Structure 1
Amino acid sequence: MADPKPWLIDEAGSEARRHAPATVRNRDAIAAVLADILPACGSVLEIASGSGEHVTHFAGLWPQLTWQPSDAEPASLASIAAWTAQSGLSNVAEPILIDVERRPWPIARADALLCINMAHISPWTASEALFCGAAAVLPTGAPLFIYGPFLRHDVMTAQSNIDFDASLKARNPSWGLRDVSAMDVLGQAHGLLRERLFAMPANNIALVYRSA
């Protein structure tokens, strides 16, 4: 099988599998955080699974968990299914179509929820909907894990993130790096309180919220 092309959602081509180069760079750092917060058993919902490379990697590390990938883009769903088929893993469910802003989501419950690199490449309403949907499906004490580049008032923003924010807004004025404090306010509005913040490689941040 040919190597997958780099992830370009509008240039899917004939190969279903997409490749997001960042997944290879950040998956081990993310897994180190997940090791401390994932439940011992149950189901993990991933919102905006993208290429599907994260979910298949994590499913291999935690075979006792059932992983439910999702995305709003048909090309992403095809890529997730292709990576899952290649992996041979039996604990990754068929990907489902979830647009976070269309409620209710087609899933009633999850024991953990992951959302990686969505907040900055979607409108603010998507982050609002993420917390609303998470509050609906997560039981008390279950974690919501959010990863990506964020802004913090108490920490100087790296120039690379400033430049990245500008490039995102040039592509779409509704995109851009979100402030951690604003994310916290959203969480609090839906009964999800930030438990921890992890500084991650390449000026990224991992946020862990728990349903109260």
Structure 2
Amino acid sequence: MLNADKPFSTASERNREPILAVLREHFSDRRSVLEIGSGTGQHAVYFAEALPQLIWQTSDRDENHEGIRLWLADANLPNVKAPLTLDVSGAWPTQLYDAIYSANTLHIMSWSEVEQMFARLPQVMTNDAKLAVYGPFNYDGHFTSDSNAAFDAALRAAVPHRGIRDFEAIDILARRAGLQLLEDRAMPANNRCLVWQRRVNP
């Protein structure tokens, strides 16, 4: 019997298919994924079911673990792992992953947390690992839509350190971490899906 008390994100339900199209292309040869900020757990079970070759490791702050576990219990998939405690400013996993995924997290973190996340990524990535990040981004210092501008204002009004990040600033952090941009794909509702790959000679 399915658990009716599971947390539910309408946005996660709405954006999962466009994101899956990106992951089908870029994660087709991947084996182990670390999801940073699993939220409700909806994306984890949807993507893990659609991409059964992946071992999908969920993670988030402790307060979100119960909801993630409810989604995992209902899905009962062999390739999704129970959530790890991961705050980008704290301890990170010791395992290496050939794929990292994160959705709608960068505008929730403070800028210093975003910097810490990218600085710490290499320690959990294999030499050829890929990183896929979904969410809204500004370009050349400008919002891409009126709705994104309104969203940014609402974020900052609620918590001042939040806000839509500039793509160029994020790409600088990625390059400092040894990542090269593979694709910047337009997504519905004025979002983007950015994919980088780490390039390290063995």
How does the TM-score come out when normalised to structure 2? 0.93
2:76 aligns with one of 69, 88, 91:
88
The residue identity in structure 1 corresponding to 2:15 is N
AA partner of residue 23 (structure 1): S
Task: Give the 4+ runs in structure 1 shifted more than 4 A.
Answer: 1-4
Q: What's the counterpart of residue 9 of structure 1?
A: none
Aligned-pair CA distance for 1:193: 1.9
**Residue 139 of structure 1: how far off its partner (Å):** 1.4
CA distance in 2, matches of 1:155, 1:146: 19
- Indicate the residue corresponding to 2:196 in structure 1: 209
The change in CA–CA distance for 1:167 and 1:41 in structure 2 (over 3 A counts) is closer
User: Secondary structure at 1:145's aligned position in 2?
Assistant: strand
- Structure 2 counterparts to residues 125-140 of structure 1, below 5 A: 125-140=112-127
Task: Quote the offset at 1:43 in angstroms.
Answer: 0.8
> 5 Å matches for 1:17-166?
17-74=6-63, 76-103=64-91, 105-153=92-140, 157-166=144-153
Offset, 1:161: 0.4
CA RMSD of aligned residues (A): 1.6
**Distance in 2 separating the partners of 1:32 and 1:72:** 27
Residue 107 of structure 1 and its aligned partner are, at CA, apart by 3.2
Are the aligned partners of 1:39 and 1:112 in contact in 2 as well (CA < 8 Å)? no
Note the C-alpha offset of 1:128.
Answer: 1.2
Unaligned runs of 5+ in 1: 5-14
On the 8 A contact 1:142/1:210 being kept in 2, the answer is yes
**Distance of 1:39 and 1:139 partners within structure 2:** 16
CA deviation map 1:116-148 (0-9, x unaligned):
000011101221122122211111221100110
Whole-angstrom CA distance in 1 between matches of 2:141 and 2:153:
20
Q: What TM-score comes out, normalization by structure 1 length? A: 0.89
Aligned partner of 1:171 among 125, 148, 158: 158
Look up the SS of the partner of 2:170 in the other structure.
Answer: helix
SS at match of 2:17: helix
Stretches of structure 2 lacking an aligned partner (at least 5 in a row): none
Give 3-state SS (helix, strand or coil) of 2:96's partner: coil
Alpha-carbon offset, residue 111 of structure 1? 1.2
Q: What is the match of residue 196 of structure 1?
A: 183
Identity fraction in percent? 39
Across the two proteins, how many residue pairs are aligned to each other?
Answer: 199
Return the alpha-carbon distance in structure 2 between the equivalents of residues 92 and 129 of structure 1. Answer: 26
